[in-house]
């Protein structure tokens, strides 16, 4: 677990002051299949390599003192992929959650699941629930795994929660606000992402955190996820620190 002094030293080494440092980074991890194909390997090899990268980036996020790191690992649309690839991915998720648990606890990481539980294999749900449970008392970085996730589905689920509260008399419809919608989403209680990183050069949002990234800065890299490393993460943070974030106002 990084101490406050170690976090300060890491940020100083990077050359980014606290006021210019992103609190919450969200990453669309893309390019596993292409990485494998260019090497004549099955797509599952790319996913396995991507899991190794995930571990290193989570560790680096902790070292830099991020408040939250959200990783887009499997979308609702990804169920359309070949069954053998999906099966391999689910096995990989369960294995990752099991093998990385000790590392997460050592780094004081809190885990959260973003997405729908319905459809996920019981083996994945068991490992996910265990990781969430044992890390609940940690106080460090939030690691949010967007697994079986879609932003439109998240908003629909949130609207249903609000409608239920109205129907049961816990909320007046006139009081529905941006805040109440935010609090109905999977990310309730978390700061919105300041920085969205997308790998593999793709220029689309892919139904990811559409409500939450309203004012996020976007950094796109041609690097495929299995080749992504701490240096590339640093480049994204440095690019973020140089942006002029106006939030609809004028430049200072």
Q: What is the distance between the alpha carbons of residues 35 and 46, in angstroms, rounded to a whole number?
A: 6
Active site residues: 30, 78
Q: pTM for this structure?
A: 0.95
Token pair 């998240």 in the structure block, residue: 154
Q: Which two tokens stand for residue 71?
A: 């990783």
- The pLDDT profile of the chain, 252 residues, written as one tens digit per residue, is 889 999 999 999 999 999 999 999 999 999 999 999 999 999 999 999 999 999 999 999 999 999 999 999 999 999 999 999 999 999 999 999 999 999 999 999 999 999 999 999 999 999 999 999 999 999 999 999 999 999 999 999 999 999 999 999 999 999 999 999 999 999 999 999 999 999 999 999 999 999 999 999 999 999 999 999 999 999 999 999 999 876 666 565
The pLDDT, as a whole number, for residue 124 is: 98
- Whether residue 27 contacts residue 60, with contact meaning beta carbons closer than 8 Å, is answered with no
Residue 30's alpha-carbon distances to 63, 66, 193, 222, 233, in angstroms, are 23, 22, 18, 10, 14
Q: What is the distance between the alpha carbons of residues 78 and 181, in angstroms, rounded to a whole number?
A: 26
The pLDDT, as a whole number, for residue 250 is: 58
Q: What is the distance between the alpha carbons of residues 27 and 204, in angstroms, rounded to a whole number?
A: 12
**For 248, left (φ over 0), alpha (ψ -120 to 50), or beta?**
left
Which residues make beta-bridge pairs with 147?
A: 74
Q: Domains (ranges, CATH) in the chain?
A: 4-149+193-239 (3.40.1180.10)
The pLDDT, as a whole number, for residue 245 is: 77
DSSP label at residue 208:
-
């Amino acid at each position: 677990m990084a101490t406050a002094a170690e976090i300060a030293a890491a940020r100083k080494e990077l050359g980014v002051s606290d006021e210019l440092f992103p609190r919450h980074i969200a990453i669309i991890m893309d390019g596993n299949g292409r990485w494998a194909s260019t090497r004549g390997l099955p797509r599952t090899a790319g996913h396995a390599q991507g899991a190794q990268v995930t571990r290193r980036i989570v560790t680096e996020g902790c070292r830099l003192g991020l408040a939250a790191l959200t990783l887009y690992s499997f979308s609702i649309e990804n169920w359309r992929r070949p069954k053998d690839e999906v099966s391999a991915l689910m096995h990989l998720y369960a294995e990752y959650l099991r093998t990385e648990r000790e590392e997460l606890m050592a780094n004081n990481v809190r885990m959260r699941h973003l997405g729908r539980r319905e459809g996920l294999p019981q083996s994945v749900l068991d490992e996910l629930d265990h990781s969430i449970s044992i890390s609940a008392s940690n106080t460090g970085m939030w690691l949010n795994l967007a697994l079986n996730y879609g932003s439109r589905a998240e908003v629909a689920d949130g609207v249903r929660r609000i409608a239920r509260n109205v129907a049961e008399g816990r909320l007046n419809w006139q009081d529905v606000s941006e805040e109440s919608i935010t609090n109905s989403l999977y990310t309730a209680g978390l700061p919105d992402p300041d920085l969205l990183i997308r790998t593999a050069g793709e220029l689309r949002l892919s139904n990811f955190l559409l409500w939450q990234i309203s004012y996020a800065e976007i950094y796109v890299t041609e690097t495929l996820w299995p080749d992504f490393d701490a240096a590339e993460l640093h480049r994204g943070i440095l690019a973020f620190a140089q942006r002029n974030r106006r939030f609809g106002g004028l430049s200072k």
